[in-house]
């Protein structure tokens, strides 16, 4: 049997109606399946690396000879010399506390008083032994962003 036979048979209204009904149900099932697939894809969604390329600060926010801690981004941005911007991890290399202040030319950890240079992240006071890792930043005009 083929669809052509169904269409040309006389008195086949009932069968055609049944076929049409089955088609509608099938289409509905396909649409429902598509809907759930779409929502699944939306949940997976496009992702971008957290913090990468996002504006971080304006250059005017970073004091010369000091810096600013962006605790939510785990980044410290410093300006050791006018117009020279540096960025470091805000996580102390001693035991992983977050640094909380920048004073006297150093980035300071509250947990055991380690101090790090604002110029290169090097250790200025123990117990930390390793420097704060540098982070890549990009300065565009007056905008500083993580690169
Ligand atoms: S965790 Fe920073 S000094 Fe110990």
pLDDT in tens, 8-50: 445 545 555 444 544 445 444 444 444 444 444 444 434 444 5
Residues with a CB atom less than 6 Å from ligand 1: 92, 94-95, 97, 109, 111-112, 114, 127-128
C-alpha span between 95 and 25 (Å, rounded): 62
Pick the CATH number of 55-146 from 3.40.50.1110, 3.40.50.1100, 2.102.10.10, 3.40.630.10: 2.102.10.10
Question: 51 in helix, strand or coil?
Answer: coil
Q: pTM higher than 0.75 for the full model?
A: no
CA-based nearest residue to 117, from 57, 67, 83, 70: 67
Instruction: Provide the edge-to-edge strand list for the sheet that holds 101-103.
Output: 101-103, 106-108, 115-117, 123-125
pLDDT digits (tens, 9 = 90+) for 56-109: 999 999 999 999 999 999 999 999 999 999 999 999 999 999 999 999 999 999
Q: What secondary structure does DSSP assign to 19-45, as a single string? A: HHHHHHHHHHHHHHHHHHHHHHHHHH-
Distance CA 126, CA 112 (A): 8
- pLDDT-derived band at 7, boundaries 50, 70, 90: very low
Pocket probe mutation, ligand 1, options 74, 94, 106, max atoms within 8 Å of Cβ: 94
The C-alpha atoms of residue 116 and residue 103 are separated, in whole angstroms, by 10
Rounded to whole angstroms, the Cα distance separating 64 from 142 reads 14
The alpha carbon of 83 and the centre of ligand 1 are apart by a number of angstroms equal to 30
């Amino acid at each position: 049997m083929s669809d052509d036979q169904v269409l040309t048979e006389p008195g086949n209204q009932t069968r055609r109606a049944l076929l049409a009904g089955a088609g509608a149900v099938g289409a509905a099932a396909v649409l429902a399946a598509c809907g759930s697939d779409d929502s699944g894809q939306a949940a997976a969604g496009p992702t971008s690396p957290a913090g990468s390329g996002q504006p971080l600060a304006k250059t005017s926010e970073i004091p010369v000879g000091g810096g600013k801690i962006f605790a939510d981004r785990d980044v410290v941005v410093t300006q050791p010399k006018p117009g020279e911007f540096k960025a470091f991890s805000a996580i102390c290399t001693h035991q992983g506390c977050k640094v909380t202040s920048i004073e006297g030319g150093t980035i300071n950890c509250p947990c055991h008083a380690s101090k790090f240079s604002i110029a290169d992240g090097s250790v200025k006071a123990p117990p930390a032994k390793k420097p704060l890792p540098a982070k890549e930043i990009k300065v565009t005009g007056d905008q500083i962003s993580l690169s």
